[in-house]
Chains A and B, each alone.
Chain A
Amino acid sequence: VQLVQSGAEVKKPGESLKISCKGSGFFFPSYWIGWVRQKPGYGLEWMGIIYPGDSDTRYRPSFRGQVTISVDPSINTAYLHWSSLEASDTAMYYCARSISSGLPTMSFDIWGQGTMVTVSS
């Protein structure tokens, strides 16, 4: 059981970006997948979650409109997308899987290795 994230990215302000999180070893459609941001030297912030079974997506208010969370359940992969990056988006981004299948339980027991996104001109 694991989540494997795409590799580190270096982008310029205004560019777009989509990072990925691929699950294996479990029935991907039945578990909520969440995204967490960690700015350098800071703590953890939830961004939003998605249920691959029906693409139900929820955002924390501060991230709504700033990013798009999506999923392709046919390849067990969730995505986090920016249409126009800013320097303040520089951070490590983690995906995580909910602990229970088919239930809205927001404890997360499987985490990806993280994707470092650097936005700099």
Chain B
Amino acid sequence: DIVMTQTPLSLPAIPGEPASISCRSSQSLLDSDDGKTYLDWYLQKPGQSPQLLIYTLSYRASGVPDRFSGSGSGTDFTLQISRVEAEDVGVYYCMQHIEFSQMTFGQGTRLEIK
């Protein structure tokens, strides 16, 4: 299994301020055949199903505000929120899918508003 490790596990954030979450994988998520990095970010808002935010490292999913961005390479990745809003509260998960059908999530980062 590829192990995904997120930091921090809890993130107090101030509305209007930036915030970031880190994710590290136990092996590289770069596919040398196609040059893509198979790392996604999901948000699970309280009482809701997960929703896709970022896929394949840095592509925003449909309808996701541009204050969300994904970056990184190899085994180290970051989700950045340029200006936190109250609606961003929830648990953020990184997920790898470099190995077809053997996806694994990080343990989750809970973002709360200060």
Give residues in A with beta carbon < 8 Å to B: 34, 36, 43-46, 48-49, 58, 60-61, 94, 96, 99, 104, 106-109, 111-114
B50 within 8 A of A: yes
Give residues in B with beta carbon < 8 Å to A: 1, 38, 40, 42, 44, 49-52, 55-56, 61-62, 91, 93, 95, 97, 100-108
Contact in complex: A94, B100 (CB < 8 Å) = no
Given known contacts A106-B38, A107-B97, A108-B52, is B107 in contact with A46 (CB within 8 Å)? no
Given known contacts A43-B93, A44-B105, is B49 in contact with A107 (CB within 8 Å)? no
Q: Which residues of B contact A96 (CB under 8 A)?
A: 50
Contact in complex: B102, A60 (CB < 8 Å) = yes
Interchain CA distance A113-B52 in the complex, whole Å: 14
Q: Which residues of A contact B38 (CB under 8 A)?
A: 106
Report the minimal beta-carbon distance from B64 to chain A, rounded to whole angstroms.
10
Q: Which residue of A lies closest to B102 (CB)?
A: A60
Report the minimal beta-carbon distance from B26 to chain A, rounded to whole angstroms.
16
| Cross-interface CB contact of B101 among A44, A106, A107, cutoff 8 Å | A106
Report the minimal beta-carbon distance from A76 to chain B, rounded to whole angstroms.
19
Interchain CA distance A117-B57 in the complex, whole Å: 33
| Cross-interface CB contact of A109 among B44, B62, B101, B103, cutoff 8 Å | B62
Contact in complex: B62, A58 (CB < 8 Å) = no
Q: Which residues of A contact B97 (CB under 8 A)?
A: 106-107
Q: Can you report 14 residue pairs joining A to B where beta carbons are below 8 Å apart?
A: A34-B103, A43-B93, A43-B105, A44-B50, A44-B105, A46-B102, A46-B103, A46-B105, A58-B100, A99-B52, A107-B55, A107-B61, A107-B97, A108-B52
